[in-house]
Chain A
Amino acid sequence: MTDGIDKETLFRLFETMLRIRLFEDRVVRLYPGQEMKCPVHLCIGQEAIAAGVCLHLKKEDYIFSTHRSHGHCIAKGMGLRPLAAELYGRSTGCSRGRGGSMHLTDPENGIPGTTAIVGGCIPIAVGAALSAQMKRNGRIAVAFFGDGAVEEGTFHEGLNYASLRRLPVIFVCENNFYATNSPQKARQPEVNIADRAAGYGMPGVAGDGNDVMFVHDSCREAVERARSGGGPTLLEFRTYRWKAHVGPDSDIAAGCRPAAEYEEWVRRCPLELCGQRLIKEKALTEDDIDRLTGSIEAEIDDAVEFAMNSPFPQQSEILDHVY
């Protein structure tokens, strides 16, 4: 077992990953029913990053994320009821039915919002960190983004300013090697995203994003640095998205990505890696996992039922919340 991670922490990481996986799996099953009328960008295969990073964060710390944000929000503490209700466009949704899957919010849990423009959340997270620095409230901010965001100006402008002001922010790049279907090598001259940190005078760390213990360990230092006034860190976690860029289906048969590459990553499922470790360490049995799965499934049942029984927003409210 990786130094510095006790069995209890590892169990909590596993539980969060399982909650994300089971929720996303449920979306896959329910989506063909066509009642969830919004594009869904699923994070199956990438759960370790959300879990490993968010376990370090306090409720009042900020996270900002992207179109692929279900996992980050669940890991940060968003309830499954408001999440499910938002996907179903109900007034009880976390964004009152105005946001859908791509615009989730939960200010009480440190989620001011998520944005579906690639790279858009990066300077916004930097701004939240500036607020924390000015208010001296001890909060930190995390920006989750994909490898595609590294090509956007917002990435460079955000990192430059964060480093200049030594702001308490962590840049978490989930490198799944594809921007929709364009491979990273067709878009970037250098594959090591973490190396970009050097140009902005901040530490950069790269590694296996499917190893939740690695994610958790490398994020600990970044969090300590941010909280102690040491400034920002760029973390690059390499991972793989199992589903298509958008929607509940696989894109492998369509030839969007090589089957061998996909299979290799599926063999390195973040939940399997962590679960097997827990079993090997005798911290968990197969029966425990089954029981945990059952209780999370019941939680998801409740969330979906809550969503389906919730009213839609009134059509007369179309102009509410614009200003």
Chain B
Amino acid sequence: MPWTRIQADDSRRPGIFRSSHAVREISYRDAIREALSQALSMDPDVFLIGEGIDDPGGVFGTTKGLREVFGSERVMDSPIAENGMTGVAIGAAVAGMRPVLIHMRVDFLPMSMDQLINHAAKWSYMTGGRVKAPLTIRAIIGRGWGSAAQHSQSLQALFAHIPGLRVLMPASPYDAKGLLLGSIASDSPTVVIEHRWLYDQKEGVPEEAYIIPAGRGTIRREGTDISIVASSYMVYEALRAADELGKKGISAEVVDLRSVFPLDEELIIASVRKTGRLIVADTGWRSCGVSAEVAAVAAEKAHAGLKAPVRRICLPPAPTPASPALEQAYYPTFQQIAAAAGEIL
């Protein structure tokens, strides 16, 4: 196993993103592509599979050119059979491979729920830990341009509910690379949820391979008056809200979960104890969602530190509309986060 040689970044780095002068800047999409390329180079058991992953677009550029380098045996197109191909990936994994199964949209994952929930998530447990299924599933949240109800969902809570699965949501290029490599290196099935609006984000990303372990969030901005816990694209809205609040003299701390399950409870508790106020901003729905889980952690484990009710910024309880006018009303923004902060400060 070459994976043990990769350095793990176990730190909860403060600051926003890595400074640009230390290392070269690359985009979120190129960070993902680099992680996949390095995994394929390092380990002959790694392969990529998914419908259309070797087409000219290359899954928004994240797999572009990889087939030319690694061949169609390791960068494979596949039938549109989400459940069956999840089973195929599980079978390859229990027989010694490390597949990365790629879906263009999170919305296609519900078709694979049987293999994901009944099989992948439980294989290790059902076999008493004797057989592992080291499977990585990448899926992308779409948004905007009328993507509508079936091409824009944020279903992380569905997967985070299931013991045996891990769910990661990188917000930054550095995290996209490290979390994806960590997922491929791990013996547990992991769902990595990307956001289409993040692909052009850039930051300094080391060229060498590194791993960010699951279950480690990070502080994007230090603050003292209020904690905004967010993940994926909502980290950026949270940072803009923190800017707005800063203009009014309010110091907001922004916590990026990075990993939805396992959840970095320690980091959430420490931040809430420090600021005494909590807003949770999630890309998904409110009911039984990630924001509910974060709020529950605060209520159960940092209750004494809370000075005000928790506020949650989520999607309204409706499918995604197509019309731009309705989309505008549908997606929460930094203004709503800042307004919620005003209510509890």
Contact = CB atoms under 8 A, between A and B. Distances in A.
Given A97-B128, A113-B127, A123-B91, A161 B85 contact: yes
A141 B88 CA distance: 12
Interface string B92-124: 111111010000000000000011001100011
B165 to A, nearest CB: 9
Interface string A144-175: 00000000011011101100100000000000
A229 interface: no
Contacts, number: 150
A141 B73 contact: no
Contacts of A99: 126-128
A65 interface: no
Nearest to B126: A103
B193 to A, nearest CB: 18
Contacts of B90: 123-124, 127
A233 interface: no
Interface stretch (A46-54, A114-122, A254-262, A266-274): A114-122
B81 A128 contact: no
Contacts of A131: 91-92, 95-97
Given A98-B126, A105-B127, A124 B87 contact: yes
A323 B89 CA distance: 17
Given A62-B95, A112-B95, A154 B84 contact: yes
A134 B95 CA distance: 11
Given A105-B131, A157-B79, A132 B125 contact: no
Given A126-B87, A127-B90, A161-B85, A96 B130 contact: yes
Given A112-B131, A120-B119, A157 B92 contact: no
A113 B93 CA distance: 12
A124 B128 contact: no
B177 interface: no
B164 interface: yes
B138 interface: no
A185 interface: no
Given A127-B93, A130-B92, A132-B95, A320 B129 contact: yes
Nearest to B189: A323
B88 A127 contact: yes
Contacts of B164: 322-323
B188 interface: yes
A146 to B, nearest CB: 17
B131 A127 contact: no
B86 A113 contact: no
A124 B119 contact: yes
Contacts of A135: 96-97
A231 interface: no
B166 interface: yes
B336 interface: no
A112 B123 CA distance: 9
Contacts of B89: 127
B83 interface: yes
A130 B91 contact: yes
Contacts of A126: 84, 87-88, 91
A125 interface: yes
A108 B249 CA distance: 65
B89 to A, nearest CB: 6
Interface in A73-126: 93-99, 103, 105, 107, 112-113, 115, 117, 120, 122-126
B130 A95 contact: yes
A126 B91 CA distance: 7
Contacts of A93: 128
A96 B130 CA distance: 9
Contact of A115 (B95, B97, B119, B124): B119
B57 interface: no
Nearest to A167: B88
Which of B74, B87, B93 has most A Cβ within 10 Å?
A: B87
Interface in A301-323: 320-323
B129 to A, nearest CB: 3
A212 interface: no
A113 B126 contact: yes
A157 B187 CA distance: 26
B159 interface: no
A193 interface: no
Which of A97, A135, A164 has most B Cβ within 10 Å?
A: A135
Given A98-B127, A134-B73, 18 more contacts: A64-B91, A95-B126, A97-B128, A105-B130, A112-B95, A113-B94, A122-B87, A123-B86, A125-B91, A126-B88, A131-B95, A131-B97, A134-B74, A153-B84, A160-B79, A164-B79, A321-B129, A322-B164
22 contacts: A96-B130, A98-B126, A98-B128, A103-B126, A105-B127, A107-B127, A113-B127, A123-B85, A124-B90, A125-B91, A128-B91, A128-B92, A130-B91, A131-B95, A131-B96, A132-B95, A135-B96, A154-B83, A161-B88, A321-B125, A323-B166, A323-B187
Q: Closest 8 interchain pairs by CB?
A: A127-B91, A157-B84, A123-B87, A96-B128, A321-B129, A131-B95, A124-B91, A157-B81
